[in-house]
Chains A and B, each alone.
Chain A
Amino acid sequence: MIESSPGRPEEGSATHVEAERQARQRKRSIAIALSLLFLAVLFYVVTLVKMGGALTEKAGS
């Protein structure tokens, strides 16, 4: 007879499904947070590059 280990919800049970849903939701949230962070850094760096280019052009004229 297979006994489920104490504290670990049985596979397929509502508790197990809910735990799995929360784990996946957490991973998705982390992925979204990292994407937003990447976008913020990208906007910052690209702005610096563009401003640098504009300043160089101004200095050259």
Chain B
Amino acid sequence: MSDAGFDATLAPEVKPLSVGGEVRDFVALLKPRVMSLVVFTALVGMVAAPGSLHPLIGAVALLCIAVGAGASGALNMWFDADIDARMARTAARPIPRGSVTPEEALAFGTVLSVISVMALGLFVNWVAAALLAFTIAFYVFIYTIWLKRRTPQNIVIGGAAGAFPPMVGWAAVTGSVSIESAVLFAIIFMWTPPHFWALALYRARDYERVGVPMLPVVSGLAETRRQILIYSVLLAVIAVAPWFIGLGGLAYLAISGLMGARFVWLAVLVFRDGDSDDRAADQRAKALFVFSIYYLFALFAVLLLEHVAARVAAGWLA
């Protein structure tokens, strides 16, 4: 038989013999570091909310939110496996490394999504469950599948998914959505663009190579730095809002004001770099990126401490 009519594209793909993933590979699919931030902000939402939950039910609510966030991370890795394989930051993830198949990641993420939403609904309340389901759907369908590869505003709109956890935590306690939980949402929502664009400034080549239209790739470094500064100023202003609505106390106001000023100053330093892509400019972007993590953590930690202290003072833990 002749090979003349052989079409290589029709041949079955030859894959290396797979031995399947280890348990830790499936844990890595859940993006544990992202999960920890989600759990922390959701906890703050729960503690800051008026009312109380049985400690076990509260723990279950946090577990459901954590698993739901992890599930959306697994679904994100399933869809983005092709670009993850070509980016230095993500090449070692379980699917590009070949230790977990895309089908396994899809099944894993889907099953965990369903379990986390159903358990939150049955054990806690259906408002919180609906918000969690919306968060997962928003992250997977709106951000990962629709926006990420189509628009430089991907981070701005997609950032909403990361901003929902404190709202879910609040709803777990109160069964509703309120202005206070919306303010917590707004803080994370406004924090996300400067945080990720600072990262994108010194990872722009990675994103360019895989065709993800991050702002530095599409609009250039100077425009990205201008947008970072605008969002940083808006963030610093919104971040003091909890004090005005009685959600945060004086300690919160002080930390938020001081760290907000520092955030804006670092954004000004980044802005002054204009179109520069030298090492010093990268260092300033990296400094802003790292500070942004401490900033968000500090804001929510102070809120948590203030509310725990208030509950102790009110005899909640007595």
Contact = CB atoms under 8 A, between A and B. Distances in A.
Given A46-B123, A49-B54, A53-B54, A20 B19 contact: yes
Interface residues of B, number: 15
Nearest to B22: A24
A37 interface: no
Nearest to B56: A49
A53 B23 CA distance: 37
A28 B176 CA distance: 39
A59 B83 CA distance: 59
Contacts of B19: 17, 20-21, 24
B285 to A, nearest CB: 40
User: Chain A at the B interface: mostly helix, strand, loop or mixed?
Assistant: helix
Contacts of B60: 42, 46
A17 to B, nearest CB: 5
B17 A46 contact: no
5 contacts: A24-B20, A45-B56, A46-B123, A49-B56, A50-B123
B111 to A, nearest CB: 10
Contacts of B17: 14, 17
Interface of B: 17-23, 26, 54, 56-57, 60, 115, 119, 123
A30 B17 CA distance: 23
Nearest to A20: B19
A28 B123 contact: no
A20 B18 CA distance: 10
Contacts of B57: 46, 49-50
Contact of A21 (B20, B23, B56, B123): B20
A41 to B, nearest CB: 12
Given A17-B17, A46-B123, A27 B56 contact: no
A14 B19 CA distance: 11
B54 A28 contact: no
Nearest to B27: A31
3 closest residue pairs by CB, A with B = A21-B19, A20-B19, A31-B23
B129 to A, nearest CB: 14
Interface in A22-60: 24-25, 27-28, 31, 39, 42, 45-46, 49-50, 53
A24 B101 CA distance: 14
A42 B116 CA distance: 13
